[in-house]
Amino acid sequence: MKVNSSIKPLSFLKRGVRRFPFASKINYSGTLQATSEIEEIKWLNYADQDKISDVDKIIFDYLPTKELLD
């Protein structure tokens, strides 16, 4: 995996911990369902910022710039 060196560590993480938020786009056919490891599957949009983590907020801010999130 190629890592963009311009990505800076997030200020709310512990010193020395680096996280690289990313999203991927895939084609899938089938039925998505929760399993023992996943309690709930829910489609979110930009208006759902109050339901997501700080890292997800960074991703949600980026996706609309590429027309990948409503």
> What are 30-70's pLDDT values in tens digits?
988 888 888 888 888 889 989 988 888 888 888 888 888 77
> Is 34 within the bounds of a domain?
no
- At 43, give phi and psi (nearest 5°): -80, 130
Model pLDDT, residue 53: 87
> Is 22 within the bounds of a domain?
no
Residue 56: which domain range? 45-70
> Is 59 within the bounds of a domain?
yes
> Is 21 within the bounds of a domain?
no
> Is 30 within the bounds of a domain?
no
> What is the C-alpha separation between 29 and 35, in angstroms, rounded?
17
Taking the CA atoms of residue 1, residue 10, residue 40 and residue 28 in that order, the dihedral angle to the nearest 10 degrees is -30
Model pLDDT, residue 19: 60
Domains in the chain, number: 1
> Is 66 within the bounds of a domain?
yes
Q: Give 26 or 23, the one with higher predicted confidence.
A: 26
> What is the C-alpha separation between 49 and 59, in angstroms, rounded?
11
> Is 51 within the bounds of a domain?
yes
Whole-number average pLDDT of the chain: 75
> Is 62 within the bounds of a domain?
yes
